[in-house]
Structure 1
Amino acid sequence: MAQPSGPAKLDAVRKLLNKLTEDLKSSTLQPQERDAALEELKLYGRDPSYADPIFTKEGIETLTKFAFDSSSDTTSRHALRVLCNALFLKSETRQIFVDLGYEAKACERLKNDNRDDEFLVSRLILLTTYGTSIDLPKLIEQHQLADSIIQNLARHAERLPKGQSTTATAAPMREMALAETLKLLFNVTNFAKKHISAFDGALPHIASILCDHPFPQSKTPLDPPFNFLINTLLNLDLTTPAAQAALYPPAEPTRVAERLLGLLDSAMKSYPDSQLDQEVSPLICALSVFYRHAPAEEDTKATTTTTTTTPANAARARVRAALLPTDEDRHTVLGKADTLPSRLLRNWTNPLAPQFRSAVAHLYFDLSGRDAVRFVENVGYGYASGFLFENKISVPEEVMRRQQQQQQGGEGSAAGGRRDVNPITGQFLDDEKFPDLPEMTMEEKEREAERLFVLFERLKQTGVVSVQNPVEKAVQEGRIQELPDDDEEDDLD
């Protein structure tokens, strides 16, 4: 049967709400009639046009009372669905719900071990975190909101089949409930930052779900719940003993690192440039946070050189091994090989993904121990220079000295027995290939000298690098002489 539209729909909605409001007073409807009326109202409420009575104060109050005061779980869930749709479609209804004072009952309902209740109530509270006066600290301190969220995450972690992360398929309702719980966790920790410690117990379950949940096989690997799991790492405190034990377990110190790197590798093969900012940037930021808080020995070097890996620094070593350029990458200019580090470096200057490229640059700076010398060694001065300039980090003289040594083939140009590397491109010097070009004419040499002179003068003015213009130096040393005009005329003759 086709639903009415226009004024007929408005009249039908008004009659349904009047019937339900009257039922709150006199209980004249049978349970089946009550549920049928709410189901019909839900269908009308999906489109707010000509459904105005649903979004009024009286309409929200009626739905709220059925949602939280009904003795029937079925009736309550029917009302919750209509209420969630209303709060989603009309932002002004969220404050109306908050003013009714039902947040405590919502938190109590969230304790139920039921995925429908978890999904609906989590979404309801989530929607009230936008543009309302809801008192989140009060819900955490007095109504155990944090405890309920942690308990729901624990239930999801317990139900995941261990050792079947590549083949198992989760139930749809369970997946939807998990996604809403994770979104609620992110918003509450974002808007109630002083109470983040109340959620310390969530990280062991987040780590378990992240690692044990079936690995995404779709073309969009950061679909729920992985995108929401990653977002939680950006808000929670990773320095607590519980967090350290969960994210860097002594028995499997690289477990979480492997999953994050696997997701990144899959994401970099799946998402186009236009989606990198929104979809992949949070994962890059999460990897930075994960790396910074990972246990590390003081003598660990954040470079591509080989270091001793112990349980204390295994997570960091695994991330560096996966993301820093390898010998394979350095056979050509960095960013040209078909590897994960090269795919990341290729996006360093991507104009379509400014947030992503900034996140990648900061990640590599973290992987370099936040040391400018190591940073240049790891990615090459060509990539590093822009980041250092934007963040007002001076280029150490050691970088320039090493560059000159390598260009001159002097002592110390390949420390530790490593092959010489072009400090600008990051490529091994003995792998560089140059085109066989004819010797430049005198006029071409003069133009090139003038161009270099201008470039070095501009570079000096930025203050990023303190270096003498080589053309100016050559003139001072008498190695360049200006030819008189007669020479040009003689040549023409």
Structure 2
Amino acid sequence: MVTPVQIEIHAGSLLAVNEEPGCLSEASVHSKRTQVAALMTRLRQDHDAAEPELSQQEQCAILAQLKVFGRTVAGSDAIYAPDGITLLCEIGLRADTPEPSREALRCVANAMLLDRTTTKAFTDGGYMQRASEAYKSESPDDEFLLGRILFLSTTHATDIDLIQTCVNEHKLAENAHAAIARHAAAYKAASTDSLTPVPQMQAMALPETLKLLFTLTSKLSDNDLFVKTIPHLLDILHTIPLQTPALQPPVTHIIDALSNIHLDNDAAKAAFFPSGEDADQTTHVSRVITVLDRATQAAAGSSSISRVADDFDDRGASTLKLLHDLYPLAPEPVQEFMRTSLLPSDTERNMPLGSQTSATLPARLLRLSSAPTASNTRSLLLTLLFTLSDSHAGKFIRNIGYGHASGYLMMRGIPIPEDVLAEAGYATDASGRQVNPITGQHLDDEDRNVRASGLEGLEGMTDEEKEREAERLFVLFERLNRTGVVSVENPLRQAVQEGRFEELQSSPDDSDDEDDGKA
């Protein structure tokens, strides 16, 4: 029998065995396995006894040791075995011993996180149904533990019917909705009264419930039952302080859940686009765009640009999808607001669209759409901009420039209108100024920038000046290749090889002081 005195001795020995699995010696693993087995045996004997001998304090002490042991799989066989998970679930889902039950649930949560095969014992024993019902608890500690366990079990579950049973018969969706409503009320109170901050444990429980909600909306084809949760999710999104970068939990989890819920119904539209005399129909879309704006501002920072751009590519997809799904459903004033916020304006056309010198949100979005690392979000981002252009290729090119639009249109097999790139058909902005269809820049601004740079093109050059400029560029390309930094095909050499370069005939009046080609 493991007495309280022996428990203290074991607690002191945890320092020796609570190491990474690869760092444990064979002797340490054997010692740990023996201790874990003894503790589990003592718990099982007490659980099976007609009259339990251990006090709740003693149960907590044993379970606390098992929790620490179970943080690594090596040597924790008795915890991770099916009968071990079963025993811990029986204790964890016992309503009359809250503290030992929570310690047992912590052991289960750690085991399910580290070894997904433990999920089978959990589901086979009917514990998902029991956990769904226990999830009604208003305790943040219970919500945190049960939310994480239910998230892991539903994520790994292959039996969709089991999840549907938990929703239909054991109130899983209803209890998740009630938890979100409690969080919305807490964050709303905290936003209006600095003396009532959201308790730390409640703040920790929110992401677990949001992750569970995302899994349920992903796996259940009929997720209309979560539409009533949309107003509470939006309340939290408005009241929770945005961090830097903006796309991190719980904001990402809120947007993930919103992007998964069916929006093409009256209840969802009413939630996102409130009506009434004093209602601002753009308020919720504006908040989502603010999150996107903050995220791309970080990506455009002068330091760690690649790191934050990668972070946006990992976490920005749901934000883009949500905006894309909302646009066709939105009233015209909201659609106009989205176009104004996300598409380049005429005032940005003094430079090529997406220029590094522009700090606007549309410019940052265009830069992200061409970023080499944006493989996850590139297509979603361009699809959003295409949708904002009424899914019309000509408008799409005029809005963001052919240079940004061409790859997407070709990938999608969307034909390009012939008149878009024809010089006679150059588009004009609202003031009537012509726009370069390739770069999206005003033609007069483009000419002005060329003249300011001293490169006015070939129009004003004589044939001899053109030849000297070609020779100079040829030498520069050759020198660039010899550095070994890059390897590029010299376009002038290629032109000569293809017969597209015609040498000018010398004139009798030519002077002998030709440029020797040295740069």
TM (norm. structure 2) is 0.77
Deviation at 1:50, TM superposition (A): 1.4
Structure 2 CA distance for partners of 1:169 and 1:371, relative to 1, 3 Å: farther
Gaps of 5+ in 2: 1-11, 18-27, 300-307, 471-500, 512-519
Deviation at 1:328, TM superposition (A): 3.0
Which position in structure 2 is the counterpart of 1:423? 437
Matched, 1:16 2:39: yes
Which position in structure 1 is the counterpart of 2:7? none
Matched, 1:320 2:339: yes
Equivalent of 2:237 in 206, 210, 213: 210
Which position in structure 1 is the counterpart of 2:473? none
Alignment check: 8 A CA contact 1:162 1:212 kept? no
Which position in structure 1 is the counterpart of 2:494? none
Which position in structure 2 is the counterpart of 1:219? 244
1:15-47 deviation line (CA, Å, top 9, x unaligned): 110000001111121111111111111111112
Alignment check: 8 A CA contact 2:350 2:441 kept? yes
CA distance in 2, matches of 1:108, 1:356: 38
CA distance in 2, matches of 1:173, 1:25: 33
CA distance in 2, matches of 1:417, 1:58: 76
Letter of the 1:369 partner, please give it: D
Deviation at 1:327, TM superposition (A): 2.9
1:414-450 deviation line (CA, Å, top 9, x unaligned): 37543221111111122112243472637968x99xx
Matched, 1:157 2:178: no
Alignment check: 8 A CA contact 1:165 1:211 kept? no
Which position in structure 2 is the counterpart of 1:257? 285
Which position in structure 2 is the counterpart of 1:476? none
Deviation at 1:163, TM superposition (A): 8.6
Which position in structure 1 is the counterpart of 2:48? 25
TM alignment of 1:278-427, pairs within 5 A:
278-295=314-331, 313-336=332-355, 337-401=358-422, 403-406=423-426, 414=428, 417-427=431-441
Letter of the 2:387 partner, please give it: D
1:396-425 deviation line (CA, Å, top 9, x unaligned): 134235x4244xxxxxx5375432211111
Structure 2 CA distance for partners of 1:486 and 1:442, relative to 1, 3 Å: closer
1:439-471 deviation line (CA, Å, top 9, x unaligned): 2637968x99xxxxxxxxxxxxxxxxxxxxxxx
1:156-210 deviation line (CA, Å, top 9, x unaligned): 1122235938978532211221111111111111112x22122121111111111
Matched, 1:170 2:186: no
Which position in structure 2 is the counterpart of 1:243? 268
Structure 2 CA distance for partners of 1:31 and 1:327, relative to 1, 3 Å: same
Deviation at 1:236, TM superposition (A): 0.5
Deviation at 1:486, TM superposition (A): 11
Deviation at 1:269, TM superposition (A): 2.0
Q: What is the SS of the residue equivalent to 2:316?
A: helix
Letter of the 2:39 partner, please give it: L
Structure 2 CA distance for partners of 1:354 and 1:12, relative to 1, 3 Å: same
Which position in structure 2 is the counterpart of 1:479? none
Letter of the 1:261 partner, please give it: I
Deviation at 1:238, TM superposition (A): 0.9
Alignment check: 8 A CA contact 2:155 2:215 kept? no
Which position in structure 2 is the counterpart of 1:146? 173
Aligned residues: 433
Which position in structure 1 is the counterpart of 2:497? none
CA distance in 1, matches of 2:101, 2:251: 30
Compare 164-173 and 332-341 and name the one that shifted more. Answer: 164-173
Which position in structure 2 is the counterpart of 1:474? none
Q: What is the SS of the residue equivalent to 1:237?
A: coil
Which position in structure 1 is the counterpart of 2:215? 187
Which position in structure 2 is the counterpart of 1:98? 123
Which position in structure 1 is the counterpart of 2:6? none
CA distance in 1, matches of 2:44, 2:442: 78
TM (norm. structure 1) is 0.81
The runs of 4+ residues in structure 1 deviating greater than 4 Å are 165-169, 442-445, 485-493
Which position in structure 2 is the counterpart of 1:200? 227
Letter of the 1:362 partner, please give it: T
Which position in structure 2 is the counterpart of 1:42? 67
Which position in structure 2 is the counterpart of 1:462? none
Matched, 1:82 2:110: no
Matched, 1:61 2:86: yes
Which position in structure 2 is the counterpart of 1:136? 163
CA distance in 1, matches of 2:399, 2:428: 14
Letter of the 1:384 partner, please give it: A
Q: What is the SS of the residue equivalent to 1:338?
A: coil
Q: What is the SS of the residue equivalent to 1:160?
A: helix
Equivalent of 1:439 in 443, 448, 461: 461
Letter of the 1:323 partner, please give it: L
Q: What is the SS of the residue equivalent to 1:164?
A: helix
CA distance in 1, matches of 2:429, 2:59: 80
Alignment check: 8 A CA contact 1:110 1:117 kept? yes
Alignment check: 8 A CA contact 1:95 1:133 kept? no
Letter of the 1:36 partner, please give it: A
Alignment check: 8 A CA contact 2:324 2:384 kept? yes
Structure 2 CA distance for partners of 1:338 and 1:142, relative to 1, 3 Å: same
Q: What is the SS of the residue equivalent to 1:369?
A: coil
CA distance in 2, matches of 1:151, 1:208: 14
Structure 2 CA distance for partners of 1:440 and 1:123, relative to 1, 3 Å: farther
Q: What is the SS of the residue equivalent to 2:377?
A: helix
CA distance in 2, matches of 1:440, 1:232: 65
Alignment check: 8 A CA contact 1:284 1:359 kept? yes
Gaps of 5+ in 1: 296-312, 407-412, 449-481
Structure 2 CA distance for partners of 1:162 and 1:70, relative to 1, 3 Å: closer
Tell me the C-alpha RMSD between the 2 structures. 2.7
1:60-106 deviation line (CA, Å, top 9, x unaligned): 11101101135211121111111111111111111111111122211
Q: What is the SS of the residue equivalent to 2:421?
A: helix
1:361-420 deviation line (CA, Å, top 9, x unaligned): 11111111111111111101111111111110001134235x4244xxxxxx53754322
Letter of the 1:177 partner, please give it: A
